[in-house]
Amino acid sequence: MDIVLCHTTADFDTLGAAVGLSCLYPGTKIVLTGGSHPKVGEFLAFHRDEYALIEARSVTAETLRRIWIVDTQSRKLLGAAVPWLDQPQVEVYIYDHHLDSPGDIVAQERWLEPVGATCTIIVERLQAEKVSLRATEATVLALGIHGDTGSLTFEQTTARDAAALAWLLEQGAHQRAIADFCDPGLSEDLQPLLSQAWDHLHQETHQGHCLGRVLLTTPEYVPGLSRLITHLADLSECNALILGHYYRANATGGHLSLIGRSRVPGVNLATIMQSLGGGGHAQAAAVTLTTSEPERVLEKIYQQLLEQIPQPATAQELMSSPVRTVLPDTTVEQAHRVLLRYGHSGLSVVDRQGQLVGIISRRDLDIALHHGFDHAPVKGYMKSPVRTIGTTTTLPQIQALMVTYDIGRLPVINAQGHLQGIVTRTDVLRQLYHHQPDSQRTTAPHRQFLFQPLQDLLPPPLRHVLEQAAIACSQRGWQLYLVGGAVRDLLLLLHQRKSMDDLAMDDLGECYSRITREFDLVVDGIQQGVQEGAGVQLARELHGYYPKAEVQIYGQFQTAALHWPHHSPLGDFAIDIATARSEFYPYPAAHPEVAASSIRQDLYRRDFTINALAIRLTQPHSGELLDFFGGWQDLQSQTIRVLHPNSFIEDPTRIFRAVRFAVRLNFLLDAQTQEYIGHALTSGIFERSQRRSQKLPSLQSRLRNECRYLLQLPLGEEDTFPGETALGQLNDLGALQCLHRDLPFSQQTRQSLALAWEWWQAYGEPTTIQGIGDWELLLMVLLAPLGDAVMVAEQLHLAEPLHHRLAIWRSRAEEFQALLATEPKISTLTCWLDGLDIPLIILIASQTPTPVGDRLKQYLGQWREQKSPLNGDDLQALGYQRGPQFREMLQALRWAALDGIVGDRDGAKAFLAAHYPQN
């Protein structure tokens, strides 16, 4: 077991450094050795589940292997963890920036650097190893640097600290969270004014937010009040605050400076201050004016602030539903398996009447398992009684409960006392940091940015279908979302339009209709006692409105599909409708098991962040973009990023999808995704899955489909055949072993595929050749060099004719080479080649030497097109009786023409007279 130790009374620098090391060394756990600063404690009240934190009592000293210590070199600052350092098997490593502090810890290696924060040292290691961070990881590292450098103002701050902080911002560190938890300090000359402001502060609670106003009077102007208002807001815990500073007053009036700070979503202080000639930003604005009535002016501005305060979000809007529950007698092991299956961090415990009796967290279960109580019932470890909230409980009230009682999840009880849903830290954080004013949003466009473009792009018949579907869902209390590729392509087009001023909306709509021929809808809703999923119910209702559409129901997955015929107003359009669900893979590469879940869980089960986007279609927030995983940012940075580390192990075909999207969209795989691919490939998962291929037909079918999509990609600028760039990237990743461990993709392979594609375009006749498409020909050529190519074709469930060609091409090639060695007539070669179909001839040409290929090319381009100079009518006109011999005569004329014996119709007649005389 590997752990990182934070020093006692942990600050952000030690916590951030520990989190960074857990990213540098995956699997490493973080231990707080004793207490934390208040701001750190408040931060962890919301973010604890985001990091690999465990409690000290969960550590067994004998199992420790490596210990990292961050931000200290002193044993006395490690509390009860000190004895662990003396375990004989333990290796100790230290990261610290306190160079002058004496150390008494024996360590195998130390990283001591003259920088402003230990987090800076860790960030430089992360950069060197090219490790990508999640936003929450980057945020706590940034807080560490801010905290120990005074936001880059302390004397010990270095350029390295600033560079590290810049990199963390690039990784997605939340500026809002940094502003909330960072304390820059207050100068001595402002301390008396802070006390005066505190004594005269007027506070009230409005719409769940704490608001304040205060007026300070001084003889002269006092600089630095912007820092004072920040401290006053933190001290008073005001969500919005107006500070007035009245100075240089005389009989006719004085100067009044008004400074505003707000953390309330929806409030724009800039517009308030602009009414008096000032300005600024939505969260920070100011104005200076001359007046003899400072109190009246302050009150006027404060009233404008009150008018802007929006109704706070309620638990009804925030909660996740349905709620996973277990019975009190459920064993610890069973409950832990449920958490693993659905990816939750806690479970509600209900009795057989459905009444909530407790809550059990992942930490509770981990401790029980650690002590060997896997068969004990959860009722012995659950927390009870449970703090609950109602559907109308506001977001500020929820925040207060979570921070006050260090609660990570709050069950939502409706008016009848039934468990309606649950609000987690993640739900709160998503509301706080995802729904920000436009000026603060960097991760996704505001919903008003999406609603109108979506309306404009869709043809009226399709828009009408979506409107009907949204109304039907709203009537049942469900939410409806457009998800996946349709959302991705919409955002890409809108992003491209910004740089293409001449692209009209009509042109954009035509382009969108061309690339998007199906929609995926997800219904987030559940009805107690109803077995059929919400998505299936919606599909049946829509089918009632559109009876000509074909409807298909897939009960196992609670999904349905509607397909309109080509002649309909929707013109061969398809809509897949699913109930929001989560997936669980019982073993690697298996077919997933599904269960009803929330929209967030539904999006989390998808492959990549750019495909885990949704647009809400139901009121009152229609047009809102749901982006839980940074998909919009990845679209802007042209990055393919997988959603979770085990994604490629659970579904190996996602490796092919990752490369296909990268090539199709001209994106790059991010470094972490490439590492996950490498781990999946070296894990042996593909060899194991191939050994049980008979049990996993779905995996092989998905792999075949991915090969098809990949080999049907549009030709790139440097491609000589479809999919060349993609195959090259798969080869570089080592991923072609998914098809066969010895599958080559050498320069010779590229040449073979290029020749096959060139010949297929020149000589192929898809309308007359049965059972093979472009992609199948290319795949056949790719597999042909393998000694067991037929077995691979069978595993991929390719069509039987492809098996046959792969089985015989070598023998046919040898026969043809032997025939060429006899220097035969052209007619002899043509007669032999007429017995082969074009795909087989192209396959042989792609795998054999040039002389053979030259003859095959002559056959395809010239010889096979040679016709008899005369036809049946000509023979009959010459006096021959129509009958079976006509075929023989015409064939003989064709051979004679090929061999140069017959050159025109007169020569043909002479040939017939000599070889087929009439009696």
Q: What are phi and psi of 723, to 5 degrees?
A: 85, 5
Quick one: which of 360, 556, 575 has its CA closest to 461?
575
pLDDT category of residue 765 using cuts at 50, 70 and 90: low
pLDDT category of residue 555 using cuts at 50, 70 and 90: low
Residue 506: per-residue pLDDT: 58
| Least trusted range by pLDDT, from 138-147, 338-347, 609-618 | 338-347
Give per-residue pLDDT as tens, 58-72: 899 999 999 999 999
Residue 692: per-residue pLDDT: 55
Residue 686: per-residue pLDDT: 64
> Following CA atoms 554, 556, 557, 560 in sequence, which dihedral angle do they give, to the nearest 10 degrees?
20
Give per-residue pLDDT as tens, 179-202: 888 765 566 678 789 889 998 999
* pTM reported for the whole predicted model: 0.65
Asked whether 117 and 72 are in contact (CB, 8 A), the reply is no
Asked whether 655 and 686 are in contact (CB, 8 A), the reply is no
Give per-residue pLDDT as tens, 346-378: 889 988 887 889 999 888 899 899 889 999 999
Q: Which residue did the predictor score with more confidence, 306 or 418? A: 306
Which amino acid makes up residue 48? Answer: R
pLDDT beyond 80 at 23 = yes
pLDDT category of residue 768 using cuts at 50, 70 and 90: very low
Residue 585: per-residue pLDDT: 44
Q: Which residue did the predictor score with more confidence, 235 or 58? A: 58
DSSP string spanning 515-557?
H--EEEEEEE---TT--S-HHHHHHHHHHHH-TTSEEEEEGGG
Chain mean pLDDT for the chain: 86
Q: Which residue did the predictor score with more confidence, 593 or 915? A: 915
Give per-residue pLDDT as tens, 833-863: 999 999 999 999 999 988 899 999 999 999 9
pLDDT category of residue 74 using cuts at 50, 70 and 90: confident
pLDDT category of residue 508 using cuts at 50, 70 and 90: low
Q: Which residue did the predictor score with more confidence, 343 or 864? A: 864
pLDDT category of residue 510 using cuts at 50, 70 and 90: low
Place of tokens 């589940």: 49
Residue 522: per-residue pLDDT: 92
Q: What counts of helices (H) and strands (E) characterise the chain?
A: 38, 29
456: left (phi over 0), alpha (psi -120 to 50) or beta: alpha
Residue 897: per-residue pLDDT: 95
pLDDT category of residue 498 using cuts at 50, 70 and 90: low
Residue 224: per-residue pLDDT: 75
pLDDT beyond 50 at 443 = no
Structure tokens at 435: 């729904």
pLDDT category of residue 817 using cuts at 50, 70 and 90: very high
| Least trusted range by pLDDT, from 18-22, 411-415, 681-685 | 681-685
Cβ atoms < 10 Å from Cβ of 486: 22
Residue 600: per-residue pLDDT: 81
* Residue 306 half-sphere exposure toward CB, CA atoms < 13 A: 12
pLDDT beyond 50 at 588 = no
Residue 712: per-residue pLDDT: 93
For residues 65 and 90, give the distance between their C-alpha atoms in angstroms, rounded to a whole number. Answer: 5
Residue 599: per-residue pLDDT: 82
Burial (CB < 10 A; 0-12, 13-18, 19+), residue 620, is exposed
pLDDT beyond 50 at 437 = no
**Average pLDDT for 126-137:** 93
Residue 896: per-residue pLDDT: 95
pLDDT category of residue 530 using cuts at 50, 70 and 90: low
Percent of the chain whose predicted confidence (pLDDT) is above 70: 90
**Average pLDDT for 394-421:** 86
Contact residues for 307 (Cβ-Cβ < 8 A; gap 6+):
none
Residue 101: per-residue pLDDT: 66
Residue 593: per-residue pLDDT: 47
